[in-house]
Amino acid sequence: MKKFYLNAIAIVFMLSFLGVNTTFAEEPITETEDVFFEELVTPVSLSLTNKNELRDLGFTEEELTTMTNDEFGKYKELDGELTQKTNHFYEVTTDLYERTTVLEITEKEALDRVGPLVNTTPTTVIPPSLGGITVVKPPISTMSIQPTTSTTSTSSTSSTVKTSWFKMTTTSSKLSNGNVLLKNSFVWLKSPNAQFTDVVGITHSASAVKVPGTEGFSYKYTDGKGVHTLGSKSTSRNSYGIAKKFNLKAIGTNIPPYNHNGYISVQVKKGNKNDIRANAYGHYTHLTAGFTGTASIGLTPGSMSVGWGAKESRMPNTMILFNY
């Protein structure tokens, strides 16, 4: 029995050393309403040096392709080195009864089912039935604007399933100012079956302290007019993390919206001089039947809850371990 307790203590000590919290007390949430906006934007032209510097800050190829001047102005002064990165892929299926399931899949499975994530053709012509418009292809295969629909039949039943694919990327970058930039990016590789209010977030070990004024958020989509950026509806914060609610665009001009992508980011620093490393977690919840009204987001290390009354599809969390 003594050996059991010694082993348990050793495990707790190891988790604490790695920055993994072993107890998560309830932490009050501060939720603020954001100033909503929607704009048609012209993506900024980035040099190869700009792109490489932004990649070191965790920016994905989708984000580099649609980056605005305002975004570039916010991050161009940051000097950093990418220290951790993880990509996760998910298959989201909805059946005839609007029951949605999420399955985490490998990158190879995503490539096989969605197609190449990088296009070589710079432009494509939307068929006449969709308006006959020439648009710039995004760097991912989202030109299949609607989710894939498949029907299986037997002698007595018929079942229709709509499938979408999703990618989440979580990164950490060590900055020259001594802070660490945490970033969680998302992209719908094929548009989801339903568009309501979604939530994206980052949580982290209690040893990480968020630096005021360093939060970042972006959500964009493309339609027949071009690239649009939308602001978030609200922000939820506590000492364990940050989350943003935003409207996933459902109706576009000339063609349905596609290439839904975005991110949330924040700088953190260690809480005391003895801290060495910590965990960060990426979160995304897709609402498939409306939102929870005024219910607040819940945040603890490794967990983001949306609240009561929502019909949701929660992507399994990502996790990285980073050094301060």
> In the numeric block, which tokens belong to residue 166?
């999703």
Residues 6+ apart with CB under 8 A from 212: none
Residue type, 162: K
Is residue 272 a contact partner of residue 252, using CB atoms and an 8 Å limit?
no
Q: Whole-angstrom Cα distance, residue 116 to residue 233?
A: 33
Q: Whole-angstrom Cα distance, residue 157 to residue 266?
A: 50
**Matching residue, tokens 């929502």:** 310
Count of other CB atoms within 10 angstroms of residue 222? 25
- What was the pLDDT predicted at 17? 47
DSSP code, position 176: T
Determine the 3-state secondary structure of 128 from DSSP.
helix
- What was the pLDDT predicted at 310? 58
> In the numeric block, which tokens belong to residue 36?
């909503």
pLDDT digits (tens, 9 = 90+) for 177-227: 999 999 999 999 988 766 678 999 999 999 999 999 999 999 999 999 999
- What was the pLDDT predicted at 192? 79
Instruction: Indicate the domain borders of the chain.
Output: 25-323
- What was the pLDDT predicted at 164? 85
* Maximum Cα–Cα distance across the chain: 76
Please report which helix (H) or strand (E) contains residue 66, including its range. helix 61-66
Q: Whole-angstrom Cα distance, residue 113 to residue 106?
A: 11
Beta bridge partners of 101: 93
**Matching residue, tokens 């900024």:** 44
- What was the pLDDT predicted at 308? 56
Low-confidence ranges of the chain (pLDDT < 50): 1-22, 118-158, 292
- What was the pLDDT predicted at 76? 94
Q: Whole-angstrom Cα distance, residue 318 to residue 168?
A: 8
pLDDT digits (tens, 9 = 90+) for 308-321: 555 677 899 999 99
Is residue 78 a contact partner of residue 181, using CB atoms and an 8 Å limit?
yes
Is residue 235 a contact partner of residue 242, using CB atoms and an 8 Å limit?
yes
- What was the pLDDT predicted at 215? 96
Is residue 36 a contact partner of residue 235, using CB atoms and an 8 Å limit?
no
